Chains A and B, each alone.
Chain A
Amino acid sequence: MTALSEKIISDVVCTICGTGCDDLQIRIKDGKIIEAKNACAVSISKFLEQHAQRYSSPMIRRDGELKCASFDEAVCKAATILSESRYPILLGWSLTSAEATCIGVELAELVGGVVDNNTGFCHGPGLIGAQDIGVSTCTLGEVRHRADVVVYWGANPIHAHPRHIARYTVLSKGRFREGRKERKMIVVDVRKTDTARMADLFIQIEPNGDYELLSALRMAVKGEELEQQVIAGVSSERIEELADLLVRCEFGIIFYGVGLTMSRGKSRNLDAALSLVRDLNRSTKFLIMPMRGHFNVCGANEVTSWITGYPYAVDLSRGYPFYNPGETSAVDILSRRECDAALVVSSDPVSHLPYSVAKYLSEIPLVTMDPHVTATTMVSDVAFPTAIMGIEASGSLYRMDGVVLECKKLLDPPQSVKSDVDVLRAILDRVKSLKGA
């Protein structure tokens, strides 16, 4: 505390990406954040501009327009939409607390719907791959202390996870690795990104060529001859050079981004990447980890898994959990126009899903919860303004390596704005009373 109206809060957890930096120092003056030390450029925008484009009253669509409503009216309308729905989808959960997701799963079970999170359109194929092949992984701390070879495949952390490289990989100083000079950095990408410019070895791959390249790399790692001169835009000499680096390392890791999961092959790309890591473990220590984007998408997977047994795309309409991505995943359900109502929590699928999918979402009764005005809130039937997790509400998140971090409440939310947990609990209670549960 430096003055009556000014305080500094240390060890604040950042709620931007899955890196989960927990060393931020936030200076608050007169109830406003005025400085965010140790924060990346994206994080500074979030902490200093958290008041931008907020709304403070629940809204209900009346005569085609969203109009202010009381909290009780909005809860009643949302609960009615969900309880009258034949097959609702409850989507989002990646920018909220693990505690909120717990309530969301209970609500989905009660209304007989599908609970899905953003995993379906980010790292879902990685989870399917891990279920097929198995995964050899670790915590970020182990990478920091031990890794001598770090591969970023289809990931551009300089833009998407700005402190990942400095905190945990090639630029970090670990117990057994001094830093950049004792670590090799390899980047595989379609573009020569800002991350690729830092690499000791950059492999420029053709779009959608990941499965081919991974398969060729597996052959090279096993010492088999590559018959083709060029594979997925990469020369066989380059592939052999990469294989040699991987095999000779002491502790290597692949961090893969959505460049691998969203490209042609999808979960098959991950089958190949996870198999490569399994092959490498015959001769050295090698691990793999997804570069999770949203700060608590990993938490959404963990919570949904320990309640239902499955990490995402869980259909609870049968009275028991059923999981089959491609059938029970949000994009597929919306594409087939099967759901007849939706609850979206802290997500903006109208902006971030392919148009035909987003359009159907806008056509059905839609309830949203979000601190900010988004394209999704604009097409909602009921919209709840909510407190920003990690700034205006406390809660737990899971970092990309599954480590749990506790977020503090730094500021009070705008007057009458409630947390995701409070809004969800109110909707759940109302649905219970409507259903006589």
Chain B
Amino acid sequence: MTLVKVRLVSGRSIGQGKGKELGKFSQQYFQSVAICELSSDDMNILAVPEGGNVRVKTDFGDVVVKAYTSKQSLPKGIAFMPYGPWANRLTDPETHGSGMPSLKGIEAEVSPALKEEVPTLETLVKNLYSEK
């Protein structure tokens, strides 16, 4: 199976900022945050179209999101995901005694997942969190 190894950086984006103000369950938030930005080289290796679905996997979990070529000039081997529940399926809770989890520079694998669906926030919450 085709895959690329990347170091995943999570962070803010203006779309994430605007989307969260429109509501965490809004379509704008979903479209801005359930994504992974890659370099054009990595997009070519994966052979997925713009907005095609990919699976991103780390030692801490995996999630399907939409892939886009980054407009922020990412070098090959670096992936970016906006802060949010999709990125946090993948981030490392280890704080190294600092209180700060490791949210940037995480080793990850990205592979095409064109036939799989990107989970909505409702689905993530229902499937992943305990029924009370």
Contact = CB atoms under 8 A, between A and B. Distances in A.
B102 A262 contact: yes
A23 interface: no
B14 A332 contact: no
Interface string A355-395: 11111001100000000111100110100000000000000
A379 B130 CA distance: 8
Given A191-B9, A350-B125, A355-B88, A120 B24 contact: no
Given A192-B72, A351-B85, A354-B92, A372 B17 contact: no
A120 B74 CA distance: 28
Contact of A355 (B13, B96, B128): B128
B14 A159 contact: yes
Contact of B7 (A124, A207, A353): A207
Nearest to B99: A329
A246 B127 CA distance: 51
Interface string A252-275: 000000110111101100000000
Given A354-B91, A362-B129, A325 B14 contact: no
B95 A332 contact: yes
B113 interface: no
Nearest to B106: A207
Interface stretch (A38-46, A170-178, A222-230, A296-304): A38-46
A191 B75 CA distance: 7
Q: Is the interface of B mostly helix, strand, loop or mixed?
A: loop
A346 interface: no
Interface string B63-103: 00000001111110010100111001101110111111111
Given A332-B99, A375-B125, A355 B61 contact: yes
Contact of B103 (A49, A121, A160): A121
> How many interface residues does chain A have, given as a range?
35 or more
B14 A359 contact: no
Contacts of B61: 355
Contact of B95 (A53, A158, A208, A331): A331
B23 A373 contact: yes
Interface in A44-74: 45-46, 49, 52-53, 61, 64
A194 B72 contact: yes
Contact of B23 (A52, A335, A359, A362): A52
A264 B83 CA distance: 18
Contacts of A353: 88, 93, 101
Contact of A258 (B11, B26, B128): B11
A259 B7 CA distance: 14
B132 A357 contact: no
Given A159-B13, A352-B88, A374 B24 contact: yes
A315 interface: no
B132 A42 contact: no
Q: Which of A16, A194, A332, A354 has the most CB of B within 10 A?
A: A354
A156 B23 contact: no
A61 B80 CA distance: 37
B121 interface: yes
Q: Which 4 A-B pairs have the closest CB atoms?
A: A329-B99, A53-B23, A192-B73, A326-B97
Interface of A: 16, 41-42, 45-46, 49, 52-53, 61, 64, 120-121, 124-125, 128, 156, 158-160, 162, 190-194, 196, 204, 207-208, 258-259, 261-264, 266-267, 293, 312-313, 325-327, 329-332, 335, 348, 350-359, 362-363, 372-375, 378-379, 381
